Structure 1
Amino acid sequence: MMRLSAVLLAASFAAAPALAEADHTAPDYTPRNVIEVQNAEWTADAVLYQLNTRQFTAEGTFAAAQKQLPRLAAMGVDIIWLMPIHPIGEINRKGSLGSPYAVRDYRGVNPEFGTEADFRAFVDEAHRLGLKVILDWVANHSAYDNPLTTTHPEWYTRTPEGALMSPAGTDWSDVADLDYSQPALRQYMTESLVYWVREFGVDGYRADVAGYVPTDFWNTARAELNKVKPVFMLAEWEQRDLHHRAFDATYGWGWKEAMQRLVKDGSGAGAMRGYYAGQSETWPHAAMRMVYTENHDQNSWDGVAAEIYGPAYEAAMALSFTGLGLPLIYNGQEADNDRMLKFFERDPIVWREGKHADLIARLIALKTETPALHNGRFGAPMVEVPSDAMADVYAFTRGQAGARVFAVFNLSPRPQQVTFQQARHHGRYTDALTGADASFSGGETMALAPWGFRIFQETE
């Protein structure tokens, strides 16, 4: 991800009034609370599950994955995010099977995974079980041997010498950059998005590197998709204006970065407190921010989640479900996958009963049954509860009195004896993970182990 430096940001803000005065127009920006996206009701308590078809089963097919859908429904997840399902390019292919993000045919199914009929059956079964299915969509680039490179060569970015080129500044050598200044490309890509919703009933998309594609393209595409049915759109990007007319959710990279930083340096709760403050002050309340402890990029290139987070792993998972954010589970996470799965080869997950499976199921159930923890506009803001251990402990409530969640996280490797201040959390509760009764009226001290946490549901 590319970030502007503080100097550049300051310069751009300083220049804005002069530019506006010269043009006699207001600065071009979207106020943070102006959102036209209408979130489908079924996104309110949604939990995402990312499914890598190639590695999800020993067979690596839609038909085999379909047999696991009842298990996923029983877990309580709501939206199945399928990594790209399309045929993969062969020119400049990485590994023996290639990257699913090197798309050779936007309206075809990768034979490695099965047939169109197999995919249709997968979607139909998911819908029968009450699950939604979204596809991973790669709009910014295609495989070098996608037929579009010859039928519509003008749709591609070119080097100064006139050759196809990969996206600038990347090592994505197996894909060719598309040029969205071409109206016909925009029409083709929009029609392709509509195709899978209309013909196969998919429920939306996760947009790969969404910020590399003009926002106005996504705005138009979302409007066309909604003419078919209400959809859910997730952008792999971190920009609030994407929520205005195009996307329900964007990546909460800042959450992951804050959590990993405080785990690595033991600095305490400050980084996460800062993330949530920024979320509250600068992002629309209706904007869903996807938070996660693992996904395909992290597992393939950074490391195994349990090793990255170490003793803080369960606390990180619990915070992703109780704080502001749309939680994601990556396939194999519930089975304690303990290795970096190969990305360009077959490397099936070893399925077993994971020691974190029960916690994940309990967190999903808590998210589902507690309106205060719902996503975006459906949920409640976080209200911090001050304590005498603010440097290391982050405590908050969500929801109105009588229906609140009170959560306390020791985000440090140091044990804590915490006494809370103010009366923001006072009431009678049940421990959400153990079922034990708890009451807070002032003066209580809570013992927390390093990286320990407690989650309470208020009782009437």
Structure 2
Amino acid sequence: MNLKKSLLAVFSATLMTQTTPLYAASTNLQFDFKEVTYTPSQTIFKLNAPQKPVVRIYADGLQGAPLRVVGMKKIGRDLWSTTIRGNLKGRFYTFDIGKGETPGIFAKAVGVNGRRGAIIDWSTTQPAGWENDKRPVSKSVHDLVIYELHHRDFSIDASSGITNKGKFLALTEPRAIEHLKKLGITAVHILPSFDYASVDETKLDQPQYNWGYDPLNYNVPEGSYSTNPYDPAARVKEFKQMVMALHKAGIRVFLDVVYNHTFDIAGSNFERTYPGYFYRYAKDGQPGNGSGCGNETASERPLMRQFMIESVKYWVNEYHIDGFRFDLMGVHDIETMNAIRAEVSKIDPHLFIYGEGWSAGSCVYPQEKLAMKGHMAQLPGIAAFSDNIRDALRGPFSDDTKGAFLAGIAGEEESLKFGIVGGIAHPEVDMSKVNYDKKAWTAEPVQHISYVSCHDDMCLVDRLRAEMPGISDEELIRLDLLAQTAVFTSQGVPFILSGEEMLRDKKGVHNSYNSPDSINRLDWNNLKRYPQVFDYYSRLIRLRKNHPAFGSGSAADVRARLSFLPTQDCLVGFMLTDYPGEPWKRIVVLLNGSRESRTVDIPAGEYTVVCRNGVIREEGMGSQQGGTVTVAPQSALILHN
């Protein structure tokens, strides 16, 4: 039910048999990640490798014979170094131990297409004011509203009005910043933005598209998102300009990281530096395929664990990243994820870490040791996506045509309730009736990412059309707004796919990782076609932000102060009572997925209506006496007293 990027396996169709490691697998080595240290008078090269490497110096980032080939000297266990005198600024380099050229495991600047490392003056990569860049203040996780964005999707269409289409700099432009601020999101989750392999940066005049889940150089921004992929400093500076512009707008930046696999094995920097070490292999010598992409990395091994920790810290320190979304986190081991959390917290405890609590295939590592969703109690300070609330609302991942709560199909009410409490144990949730889990999997609601669609699935509009053929625009909008109301009034951390606020579709394509712009692009004209959708989303986000009862409680608070009303088929209602810091004494939320009106009994008293029939007005839309109230079909009713 949680298959991930299965089509991406085409990149690694030819599996590689196990390579005999050239070093002791039980190594106590510590990597020196400063592989290149530049000054105008000399450049020092270092590489951890099991046998002697050479350094090749090039004038060009892609073509031409080397200007120099220099052997490296051993300076420690599996550590080699050489110093080349003179000013090498603007030159390119590779290392080679005899397994093929590589820019190194921890390259920080590269030439076009990422095959050669670049020697740059890092002072030229700092945009004006970078030294004063500040992370937006985070009082609590309750502030988070995550907006998942692909650079090309967001800005490529002519309707966006954005000049730097498909580039990092798109998110520095007033049109983009104003849209995000008006919507009210507080964190942009950018799909993989490190240097990836599947887009040829020398042919950007030709149509090319990929989500970026095929890593090449983990610690370098992707060249196709820069204005000049041939200039190694440009992508670095422009990425920083993007981060700084979002920070000035009060928006955090979360980076999607894909440490669980590489584009391939044979050509990877890992394999060309330490053959046989960084990947898991089955007993028959075949590479593990927990990623569904032809290989899986071995996070439990000391060097891979150290690499992941240092890489995350590098993005935090060099690029001021505010959080990380771990692709297929269930491929990584629990110990490594906890080590990353601990190291990141030393820098800033408010940096947010979350991921997919599953793998795309069976891993070559004991499942009980992996960072799966069911093991979140062992992963404090880390959150995971909830397929429970997602599929309770829109139907199973495994069948795009099968609906659930939103389609008026009864049976997922208890799963929705489980999502509403943020995946914790709650006395009023019957876990025997929950879709995928029979016991609670979060220790605290902040470990629960609430969502209904994301990039690698049908977007919400397409899903509703697939499971309800012939649905009218009016009904589709009602259900779209109802779905997001469930997400944003839940106790978890809300997450939306970019474009949902403008009723985005992808022409029914599910796995659109390599589909053209005509499928993936956002049509900004929809803001004029369906203004009520953006208005509702922005008001819903504001409602959540202004009221700590929605998502700020501890597990103890939720158990004590969130209670459910009697469930009906395709109707779930709950009350939030006497929350600390909450100005409204009692809040009643009623979610009706049925095509019929429903009556519900609520406690007596006079209530103010703030959401009804697809309209939100936090200041109130009239009063309602308690007792029996009526909820319109396919809509939410929210009241408070």
TM-score of the pair, normalised by structure 2: 0.59
For structure 1, the residue ranges without an aligned partner over 5 or more in a row are: 4-38
Offset at 1:166?
5.8
Partner SS state of residue 373, structure 1: coil
Partner SS state of residue 118, structure 1: helix
CA contact (8 A) 1:233 1:246 kept: no
- 1:292 paired with 2:415, answer no
Higher mean C-alpha deviation, range 185-194 or range 275-284: 275-284
Are the structure 2 counterparts of residues 130 and 299 from structure 1 closer, same or farther at C-alpha, using a change threshold of 3 Å? same
CA contact (8 A) 1:288 1:376 kept: no
1:107 matched residue in structure 2: 219
Offset at 1:312?
2.5
Partner SS state of residue 223, structure 2: coil
Which of 377, 398, 403 does residue 576 from structure 2 map onto? 398
2:597 matched residue in structure 1: 415
**C-alpha distance in 2 between matches for 1:45 and 1:457:** 22
CA contact (8 A) 1:135 1:204 kept: yes
TM-score of the pair, normalised by structure 1: 0.80
Offset at 1:64?
1.3
Partner SS state of residue 262, structure 2: strand
CA contact (8 A) 2:391 2:452 kept: no
CA contact (8 A) 1:157 1:179 kept: yes
Partner SS state of residue 428, structure 1: strand
Give the residue type in structure 2 aligned to 1:41. K
Are the structure 2 counterparts of residues 100 and 253 from structure 1 closer, same or farther at C-alpha, using a change threshold of 3 Å? same
Offset at 1:76?
1.0
- 1:328 paired with 2:495, answer yes
Partner SS state of residue 143, structure 1: coil
Query: Counterparts of 1:200-219 in structure 2 under 5 Å?
Result: 200-219=319-338
Partner SS state of residue 325, structure 2: strand
1:436 matched residue in structure 2: 621
**C-alpha distance in 2 between matches for 1:134 and 1:190:** 16
Are the structure 2 counterparts of residues 141 and 363 from structure 1 closer, same or farther at C-alpha, using a change threshold of 3 Å? same
Higher mean C-alpha deviation, range 79-88 or range 230-239: 230-239
Residues 421-455 of structure 1 show CA distances to partners (whole Å, capped at 9, x for unaligned) of 5x3x74432424142132434x3x32323222211
- 1:127 paired with 2:215, answer no
- 1:172 paired with 2:293, answer yes
**C-alpha distance in 2 between matches for 1:305 and 1:198:** 39
**C-alpha distance in 2 between matches for 1:240 and 1:226:** 23
Higher mean C-alpha deviation, range 177-186 or range 77-86: 177-186
Are the structure 2 counterparts of residues 376 and 102 from structure 1 closer, same or farther at C-alpha, using a change threshold of 3 Å? farther
Offset at 1:56?
1.2
2:79 matched residue in structure 1: none
CA contact (8 A) 2:594 2:633 kept: yes
Query: Counterparts of 1:12-411 in structure 2 under 5 Å?
Result: 41-58=139-156, 59-67=165-173, 68-90=176-198, 96-114=208-226, 115-144=235-264, 145-153=267-275, 154-158=277-281, 162=285, 165=287, 167-168=289-290, 171-173=292-294, 176-230=295-349, 231-237=351-357, 239=373, 241-242=375-376, 244-260=378-394, 261-264=404-407, 266-267=409-410, 269-273=413-417, 275-276=419-420, 279-281=424-426, 282=440, 283-299=442-458, 304-307=462-465, 310=476, 311-340=478-507, 342-347=512-517, 348-352=521-525, 353=527, 354=530, 355-375=532-552, 377=554, 381=558, 383-386=562-565, 390-400=568-578, 402-411=584-593
CA contact (8 A) 2:419 2:450 kept: no
CA contact (8 A) 1:218 1:246 kept: no
Using the aligned pairs only, state the percent identity.
22
Higher mean C-alpha deviation, range 39-48 or range 366-375: 39-48
Offset at 1:82?
0.7
Higher mean C-alpha deviation, range 310-319 or range 119-128: 310-319
Are the structure 2 counterparts of residues 371 and 378 from structure 1 closer, same or farther at C-alpha, using a change threshold of 3 Å? farther
**C-alpha distance in 1 between matches for 2:444 and 2:597:** 34
Partner SS state of residue 456, structure 1: strand
Offset at 1:242?
3.1
Offset at 1:299?
2.9
Q: Rg larger in 1 or in 2?
A: 2
CA contact (8 A) 2:461 2:503 kept: no
1:14 matched residue in structure 2: none
Give the residue type in structure 2 aligned to 1:288. Q
CA contact (8 A) 1:89 1:143 kept: yes
Offset at 1:203?
0.6
**C-alpha distance in 2 between matches for 1:319 and 1:99:** 28
In the comparison of the two structures, how many residue pairs are matched?
A: 410
Offset at 1:321?
0.8
CA RMSD in angstroms comes to 3.1
Are the structure 2 counterparts of residues 411 and 66 from structure 1 closer, same or farther at C-alpha, using a change threshold of 3 Å? same
Offset at 1:149?
1.9
